[in-house]
Amino acid sequence: SRSIVRLELQPRSFAWTAIGSSDDVSVHAVWSDGLREDVTCLTRFRTNDDAVASVTEDGRVAGVGFGDTHVIAFYDNAVAALPVIVMDPQRPQPDWPSDPPAGQIDTLVNARLKLLGLVPSPICSDTEFLRRASIDLTGTLPSSDEVLQFLADPDPAGDKRVRKIDELLQRPEMAAWWATRLCDFTGCNPAQQAELGQEFAEQWYMWIYQRLRRNQPWDQLAADILLATSRTAGQSFADYSTVTSGYFHEASAQSFTDRGTMPHFWSRRTLEKPTDKALSVAHAFLGIRLQCAECHKHPFDQWTRDDFQQFSRFFEPVQYGVAEDARAEYRQMAERVGMRAGNGGEGAAVNPEALAKARAGQVIPWREVYVAPRQAPLTIPLLRSGEITILPHEDPREPIVRWIRDPQNPWFARAFVNRVWAACFHVGLVDPPDDLNPANPASNPELLDWLSSEFIRRNYDIRWLLREITVSAVWQRSCLPNASNSADRRNFSRAIPRRLPAEVVYDGMRQVLVAHDRQRQIRTDLTRRATGHLSMRMAGTWAMHVFGKPERAVACDCERVNQPSLLQSVFLQNDPLVHLALEESGWLMAVRQQSAVDENGLHELITEAWLRAYGRKPADGERQRALRHLLQAETPAAGLEDLLWSLLNTKEFLLNH
């Protein structure tokens, strides 16, 4: 039987200079047998932004407001997008910034801005750059000494900024922060693990952290998760249990991070069914949403229920429990150490008593991620990318990994590039960033295509991708709008201020309050940072909840919330955690111990407070207001405590700008 290949729209785009302009779009279906058929009267239409364009049932498109969007056409299983631009000929046109494009990102974004009649904002200041780069690349505020050293560097801004980016990318804090980011969308949630939730989640985080430290390519990192089994090829169950028990024994040289693969992705209670595995893989590694197709074909999506069911079949043999060849040995080991053995192939979760024995050096039996062998070959279609034949005893995930690592794969590289872009700009080239589908086209498709193809050509180098983005003039633009771009939020003509992530707020507050001699330690000691190795232990705490740290309970990037809220204001103003941090501040304790502080000393305190909280020196007016308060306070320490509390409650501290 024939199938639909694509939809062709005529015209291919609309660009108008007046509200009220309108025209008709025609839709032709191209079928696999070569037939080209006019299906306009059978097509469903939708506009992605009804403030810019409207569309009637019969395909009449009209401009209703200035801006850019897409009209989407749906017929059968095919989707096509029609770009619509409505330009304002009366829009003021400030002078175009004189900064030359730093690379292809700037060239492609500037071309789009000129098409839309948008003039970009100028490059941000050195202090804004340093704070933004430190937050986006390492999840860390710059120290006061770092700010002063950067400002004192006499080299041209472009040279010293590139050097600083290269330095930040080599820091352990970069790997720690981006391990947290990767744990977000791969679903590292202690509450979802089938056993030892906290321990397994920390192993998951540390495994990713170590690979980012050595800059492992993204495709290899993803493959090592997707193809993970608990036992390596040829490994006996006894040896596997010995090695796994050793991970929890302090005297053992074994470390989970030394494993080649990371099986905890597959050991979650929420991934027991093949359909759950399919949803999680599609979200984490392809950036696509298949939830609707689990029950039906959504009228505005390309995926059918059959697409989803066939994709789910790849994951049927992936199990968590006790493999058939190990069940007798599992029961014997369980009896020997006094563990419950469970039923059949399910095994039993490791309880605290058994874990204590492993910590003491005993070997206990462990459940495992394994692939149950099939009895016969199986041929399955793979998300409309051809049919795959899986042989008996073959891991059905292997063809999926070969497919995603194929440079022609339409989602894998694009999904990761888009997520990194969204983390750096607060909005993805495709937004939401985990919804790559033809009905949600990129705001700058040429840029997403180029960046994805270069990411592949550069061997999926994560540091290269972050560097390419952050050295661009696009990323370094000021957040201050001009007369032409104040309404722009999707074409990157200016930076969009965004609230700091939950972990950065928590660590940043501690950085502001720490004693002078511990500034470097609190930034680099990852064992005590929410953006570092504390990330998993702080999951679910009140502070993290208030500021939107994701629970990672569902397959959706929307779980991480960076929007401000009234609850956050109440927390920073009144929560005992904040007031306790002020009372126990090492910096304030040192000031309290001083018998007196002269006016020069007060000026130094004010400068230091601004450098720590804002990454800049205070303006004259700010300095004078702060000085008056310190002079009127009962003691310098009391005045400084008030000042620090007020700085922590400002937009400038809470926003990445």
pLDDT digits (tens, 9 = 90+) for 125-168: 999 999 999 999 999 999 999 999 999 999 987 899 999 999 99
Cis peptide before 172 (omega within 30 of 0): no
**What is the average per-residue pLDDT within 162-178?**
97
So where are the chain's domains? 4-86, 502-656
Question: Binning pLDDT at 50, 70 and 90, where does residue 523 land?
Answer: confident
Domain 4-86, CATH 2.60.40.1080 — does that match?
A: yes
CA atoms 225, 228, 230, 233: torsion sign: negative
Q: Which two tokens stand for residue 56?
A: 């009637």
- Is residue 52 within 8 A of residue 69, CB to CB? The reply is yes
Element (H, E) at 16: strand 14-16
Highest mean pLDDT among 58-62, 338-342, 542-546: 58-62
- Angstrom distance (rounded) from CA 113 to CA 90: 16
Whether residue 540 has pLDDT greater than 70: no
- What confidence score (pLDDT) does residue 99 get? 78
Residue 381 backbone zone (phi > 0: left; psi -120 to 50: alpha; other: beta)? beta
**What is the average per-residue pLDDT within 234-258?**
92
- What confidence score (pLDDT) does residue 522 get? 85
pTM of the model as a whole: 0.95
Highest mean pLDDT among 239-248, 294-303, 345-354: 239-248
Collapsed DSSP state (helix, strand, coil) of residue 95: coil
pLDDT digits (tens, 9 = 90+) for 17-71: 999 999 999 999 999 999 999 999 999 999 999 999 999 999 999 999 999 999 9
pLDDT digits (tens, 9 = 90+) for 354-383: 999 999 999 999 999 999 998 889 999 999
Inter-axis angle of helices 636-648 and 620-632, nearest 10: 140
Q: Which amino acid is at 148?
A: L
Which of 361, 392, 363, 365 lies closest to 379, judged by CA? 392
Looking at 393-499, which runs of residues are DSSP E strands? Answer: 498-499
**What is the average per-residue pLDDT within 330-349?**
87
pLDDT digits (tens, 9 = 90+) for 57-116: 999 999 999 999 999 999 998 999 999 999 998 888 888 888 777 799 999 999 999 999
Whether residue 430 has pLDDT greater than 90: yes
Q: Which amino acid is at 645?
A: W
The pairing of beta strand 498-499 with beta strand 387-390: unpaired
Percent of the chain with pLDDT over 70: 100
